[in-house]
Amino acid sequence: MNRTETIPLLASLVLAAGLMGWIVWSQRPAEPVEAIASSSSPLPPAPVPPAPEPPPLDETRAAQLRETAEGAPDDVQVRVDLGNLYFNSQQFEDAIPWFEEALTLDPKAVDVSTDLAVAYFYLDDTERALAQLARSLEVDPAHAKTILSLGIVRAFGNQDLDGAFEAWEEVLRVAPGSPEALAAADAMERLRAAH
């Protein structure tokens, strides 16, 4: 591999890390979603700062929520809270069963469905991630976070840049000016600059 071939590869890896960090941190319910600013620099794109370290799992809170879940088998929110607690600590294998239980109780919870898809993606299960995102879009075809995530999974899970651009252009159409639209525009700009 020569030097000119490594520049697009490195740029794509930096973009993937930045977008994945954005997804994880945008899922945090207590903090506002931060938009990714557009880069105006020519090739290569400006490096994306590494995603912050995930907070450690609050074991006490997890135990309390598990106890509540055991006593309330129909409580969707406690299952979502447990899933989010594990997800935010990047313990995706532990988040998945709680998101799945929440969706069994409330199949139309599009945010939970999208979070489940992202958890699958982080565990390198691209096919399950894409299938779950398709279910999310059946519930809400204009859900910006789902469409943004679809683009990310297509780009970095399937290496389908055309499909990724299609999804990100849809985000711009359905949610102009939103944090998701800003992230989609940034992703497209960076990938265009890298290729």
Q: What superfamily does domain 56-106 belong to in CATH? A: Tetratricopeptide repeat domain (1.25.40.10)
Which stretches in the chain have pLDDT values below 50? Answer: 3-4, 6-11, 13-14, 24-25, 28-43, 45-46, 48
Percentage helix, strand, coil, to 5, in the chain? 70, 0, 30
**Architecture of domain 1-33+125-195 in this structure:** Alpha Horseshoe (1.25)
pLDDT at 20: 55
State the amino acid at position 154 in one-letter form. R
Q: Which helix (H) or strand (E) holds 160?
A: none
Contacts of 22 by beta carbon, 8 Å cutoff, 6+ apart: 34, 36, 51, 183
Same topology, domains 1-33+125-195 and 56-106? Answer is yes
Return d(Cα 69, Cα 74) in angstroms, integer: 8
Q: What is the pLDDT of residues 60-105, one digit of tens each?
A: 999 999 999 999 999 999 999 999 999 999 999 999 999 999 999 9
Token pair listed for 62: 């997890």
pLDDT at 37: 38
pLDDT at 194: 85
**C-alpha 7: how far from chain center:** 25
pLDDT at 52: 76
Query: For 44-60, b where at least 16 C-beta lie within 10 A, e where not — what string?
Result: ebeebeebeeeeeeeee
pLDDT at 23: 55
Which sequence spans correspond to the domains of the chain?
Answer: 1-33+125-195, 56-106
Q: What is the pLDDT of residues 179-190, one digit of tens each?
A: 999 999 999 999
